[in-house]
A = this chain, B = another copy of it.
Amino acid sequence: MSRLTIFGLEGIPEVTPGVDLAGLIADAARRGEGTALADGDVVVVTQKVVSKAEDRLVPVDPDDPLSHKPLVERESVRVLRRRGDLVISETAHGFVCANAGIDLSNVERGYAALLPVDADRSARRLRDGLRHRAGVEVGVIVSDTFGRTWRRGVTDVAIGCAGVAGVVDLRGTPDALGREMQVTEVAVVDEIAAAAELVMGKSSGIPAAVVRGVDPAWLRDGSVRDEIVRRPQEDLFR
């Protein structure tokens, strides 16, 4: 039977620049009951702790709630929309999101956290680190919380991945009635990030989750930049 289990990793201490994040994750997984990392798991880590570990923190005026706005302009290569204080822009990574992915929540007062420079690379490093720390071959996803057009509410998506597919191409696979399918390229990396968010929450101090039971065929080299980020020329809304 197809079955997936997702568990949040509790007890990860506050992450500081230069910390061994893979070690913290492996230790937290080992402490939980039945949660020690195993080959084939996918580890989802929030952008916020990855950015902290990589020292992507920038000082801002702690008394000015808009003090990160100049950073938003600097981190944007193209502004798509503005409304009040809200900026929807494209980042150097090719992500289109609010405020260039910068916010002040869950960051020490007086600092803003920028996105990782290259979150696919961050995911590869974590994957290598988990191999060394726990002796396991896992997929890694760095997740962040983005809004969407046309639908209210935010959902978590992947901004980087390693050892797990970005998109699984079901184009041409016969459907259940034996007919040739139309285009179905499923962004499984985003679906896994969304699933992980359900056990992490925003304020519960759970910055990482383990997804167990992912189709082994999906555990290949993957890249959010190469597979998920849509080029402006193939985009109808930019």
Which of A's residues lie within 8 Å of B, judged by CB?
1-8, 10, 32-33, 35, 80-81, 83, 88, 90, 95-96, 103-109, 145, 148-157, 166-167, 170, 173-177, 179, 181-182, 184-188, 190-192, 194-195, 197-206, 214-215, 227-230, 235-238
Contact = CB atoms under 8 A, between A and B. Distances in A.
Contact of A154 (B2, B88, B184, B194): B184
A98 to B, nearest CB: 9
Given A177-B106, A185-B153, A194-B191, A3 B5 contact: yes
Contact of A153 (B181, B190, B201): B190
B191 A205 contact: no
A107 B4 contact: no
27 contacts: A2-B7, A3-B6, A3-B199, A4-B7, A4-B199, A6-B6, A80-B236, A103-B182, A105-B182, A107-B177, A109-B177, A109-B179, A151-B187, A151-B228, A152-B167, A152-B228, A152-B230, A153-B186, A153-B190, A153-B227, A155-B186, A170-B201, A176-B203, A176-B205, A191-B194, A195-B198, A237-B237
Contact of A187 (B83, B153, B176, B237): B153
Contact of A145 (B105, B179, B184, B215): B184
Nearest to A209: B2
A22 B109 CA distance: 51
Contacts of A174: 203
Contacts of A152: 166-167, 185, 187, 227-230
A145 B5 CA distance: 22
A5 B213 CA distance: 10
Given A3-B5, A152-B187, 11 more contacts: A2-B204, A5-B5, A90-B150, A149-B235, A149-B238, A154-B187, A156-B191, A173-B202, A181-B202, A191-B195, A195-B198
Nearest to A33: B1
Contacts of A153: 166-167, 185-188, 190, 227-228
A191 B155 contact: yes
